[in-house]
Structure formats: C-alpha cells, structure tokens
Amino acid sequence: LVRAFSTSLGRHSPIKTVAIIGSGLMGSGIAQVAAANGHTVTVVDQTDEIINKATAAIKKSLGRVVKKKFPDDPKAQQTYISDVMSHLTLQTDAKAAVKSADLVIEAIVENLEIKRKLFASLDKAAPPNTIFVSNTSSIPIRDIATATNRLDRFGGLHFFNPVPVMKLVEIIRLPETTDETFTALESFGKALGKKTVQCKDTPGFIVNRLLVPYMLEAVRLVERGDATPQDIDVAMKLGAGYPMGPFELLDYVGLDTTKFIVDGWHQRDPDNPLYRPSEILNKLVAENKLGIKTGQGFYSYNNK
C-alpha cells in the first residue's frame, strides 16, 4: 500500500524530529498532525494516566480523519492510523525527549514560572541547534524565552483548536529570532499542511487579539440585556458567516481559558477597556461551568 501520508513533508524542512511537552488538547493535536505528516514525534506529559488519555484522544481524532480520507475502506483507515501512531511516542521524560529533537514545542499549563522552569532545564538538555517554541496563547514569548540562552532559536508557534482541522499557524518572532529559525518554523508549518502568518510578540498575536475582545463584547451584550446568547450565536453564524457563534466558541475553547487570557491582559494593561473583566464570565468560571469539557457553560451539554 502506498503510504497515504508524508506527501506534504517539506523537502527543505530541517525539522524532522519533534518533542512536544504537554499532551492536552493542543499538544496532542499538534502531535497528531506532525506525525501524520511524517515527522518523528515524542509527546511528554507528567503521568502514564495522562499519557493514556492523550493516546486515546489522538486515536479518536484520527478516527474522524480517516472516515473522511478513506470512506468505506476500513482496511486503509486502520493502516493509516497504525502508520501515524508508529511515528508517535508518548512518555514522561522531557529531558530524554529533547536530546534528539530538531524542534521542541511547549504546550503546557499557562503559567509563566512553570514554563520558564521547564525551558531552563530543557535548554541544558537539548542540543545547541534545537529550536524552542511555545504554543502559549496569552503569555509574552519573550518572558518565557529569557529563561534560556537561545533567544536566536526561540519563537512562538500558535495553533488553533481543533488542530487537525484549523488551517492556520501563527509564527511569533522575537527581535532576536534569526531568519534561519524563522524559515525553519515556516517550512515546518507548511509541512503540516498549514498556512502560516507572522506576528510580533504582542498580546493575543493576530487571532486572539481580535477574537477574545469580540467574544467578550458578545458577553457584554448579554450583560446589558441587549440580546440572548442564542440570538447572538444565530446572528453571527448567519449574518457574519462564522462557523460557531461567540457563545458556542466560548464553550468550545473553555470559559476558564478565556478568563485566564483576559485576566492576564487586564493585569498588564488595566486601562484598556477591551480587556475589562466580565461579571458573567467570572461567575460561570467560579461555578465550574467551563463549557463543553464540564458539560455546562453558556449552554448545557447533557450527553457529556
């Protein structure tokens, strides 16, 4: 059987071996897409239990991919899944994982100190030519990068949820990021079948800088009693062509994630009205109504 993937692996991409730290939604999504495009991928997380969960999530997502790729051909579906999984190792030793990596992608909890500690230790363990990136959505890349001695080989690589479906990767450049590093990240993004865009290290980069204030303003419409979440969602889907309305998207991304982003920006820039905290958002998060993942957010997900 002709190998069904690896066709798009950029011939010029110097990145072949990837270590991904963090196996959550983003980390496992990135791992899946990198492996599906012929890279050798190691995913690292803290416990075997977390790793088993991530493995199951990747297999489930691959199941969705193959249904579309090989409809009515269960054998090809199975071959593809096995082939992708054979490019993937999941384990708990970050230092060992980065030893042979061309690229290290960090997708762990959004906590600056934890990220800095991780990168400081990986900086010692990884070869000098290894490129480091963070997939952070809200923390300045520079604040993370200065924990290492490789600012020239450091950047941001920001993926979108669901990673196997969303076609964009934002590449964040520091003033120190070399052209060589940037080009390597660009060709890696292309090898993953994504379109890349470039942005400076500014809050939210491009997508979240626009998307988060938009979602917050939708919540403020409700807070002011101007319209219901249901009507706002219908309006933005049918009137603006968005695939999801802002409340569906808030539930999908996670209300805690959005609150975390807003709170961080508000702390750094308290006078910016776009980042003003929202009462409803704070209340729902305090009640652990975080969206789809907890079965309740702006909407109820009873089948969860």
Output the known binding site.
22-27, 45, 61, 68, 110, 115, 137, 161, 293
Q: CB nearer to ligand 3HC: give 151 or 249.
A: 249
* Near ligand 3HC in 222-281, by CB under 6 A: 243-244, 249, 253, 257
88 contacts ligand 3HC (rule: CB under 6 A):
no
Q: State both tokens at 79.
A: 């071959």
The backbone torsions φ and ψ at residue 271, rounded to the nearest 5 degrees and listed phi first, read: -90, -5
26 vs 94 by CB, closer to ligand 3HC: 26
Q: Do 95 and 125 touch, CB atoms closer than 8 A?
A: yes
Q: Which of residues 49-68 bind ligand 3HC (CB under 6 A)?
A: 61, 64-65, 68
Q: For the chain, first and last CA: distance in Å?
A: 38
Q: Does 28 bind ligand 3HC (CB under 6 A)?
A: no
Backbone phi, psi, residue 243, to 5°: -70, -30
Examine the residue annotation and report whether 208 is marked as an active-site residue of this protein. yes
In terms of C-beta density within 10 A (0-12 exposed, 13-18 middle, 19 or more buried), how is residue 198 classed?
middle
Catalytic residue among 135, 208, 248, 278: 208
Is 248 an active-site residue? no
Alpha carbons 300 and 293: distance in angstroms, whole number: 11
User: Could you say whether residue 161 binds ligand 3HC (CB under 6 A)?
Assistant: yes
What's the one-letter identity of residue 229? P
Shortest spacing between CB 158 and ligand 3HC, in angstroms: 6
Q: Which amino acid is at 78?
A: Q
Among 166, 197, 227, 235, binds ligand 3HC (CB under 6 A): 166
CA 20 to chain centre: 11
Q: Which is nearer to ligand 3HC, 66 or 126 (CB)?
A: 66
- Residues classed as catalytic: 137, 158, 170, 208
